[in-house]
Amino acid sequence: MTPDLPSPIAAYVAANAQLDVDGMLKPFADDVVVKDNGAVLVGTPNCGPCSNTKSSP
């Protein structure tokens, strides 16, 4: 049995299953703040796959 999820979470999960990064970011506010591995990312443009804050060696 699948639990009923709030619509923003369900939309994120559905987009994630399709590897749809834009769809995964849609439920978040434009000024979202994400803490990821010690980095603080602000805004949906900075939270996508091209937002890698680490430089390559």
Stated pTM of the model: 0.65
Q: Which two tokens stand for residue 26?
A: 């849609």
Question: Which residue ranges make up each domain of the chain?
Answer: 7-46
Q: Is the pLDDT of residue 53 over 70?
A: no
Do 33 and 43 form a contact (C-beta atoms < 8 A)? no
Report which of 4, 6, 26 is spatially closest to residue 16, judged by C-alpha positions: 26
What pLDDT is stored for residue 57 in this prediction? 39
What per-residue confidence (pLDDT) applies to 48? 74
| 43 has a pLDDT exceeding 60 | yes
